Structure 1
Amino acid sequence: MENEALNKGEEPVQGYVRIPLSILEIATGVIVLAILSWYVVQAYHLPKPFNSTDVGAGGFPLLVAIGTGIATISMIGLAVARHMGKMGQADSRWRRPLFVLIVALLLVGQAVTFETLGVYLCVALFSAAIMVAAGERRILHVLGVSIGLVAFVYVVFALALNVVFP
Structure 2
Amino acid sequence: MSRIELCKTPVGFLARLLGVSTLIMSPLLIACNSDPVPQHWIHGAQVAAEYRDEAKVLRLAPGWSWPTELNYPDKDEDGNNQLYEVNTGRVEAAWYWHCSWARTFLSETNPTQRKAALMNVLEIRESAFYRWGSDDVERRRNDQMLSDVKTGNTEFFEQTIKLNCPVSSK
Structure 1 and Structure 2 fold alike (TM over 0.5): no
Bigger fraction of residues in helix: 1
**TM-score, normalisation: structure 2:** 0.31
